[in-house]
Amino acid sequence: MKEKILGFFTDVVKEMKKVTWPKREELQDSTIIVLVVCLIIGAFIYVVDMVVSGVLRQIL
């Protein structure tokens, strides 16, 4: 059992060495894109919610 656990962590270290990490600028650009898209989607959902709420208020 101990050998399996040790082997697992050895494999994890090997795989982590293969990872290509993004440069700082790439990370910042990706973060900005994600935040902008989240804001756009949030605003869209808010507007749709307000429209649906208004329609339902008129019906009921």
Instruction: Give the tens place of pLDDT for each residue, 4-44.
Output: 999 999 999 999 999 999 999 999 999 999 999 999 999 99
Looking up tokens 């808010």, which residue turns up?
46
Domain boundaries, the chain: 20-60
* Its pTM surpasses 0.85: no
- 60: confidence class by pLDDT, cuts 50, 70, 90: confident
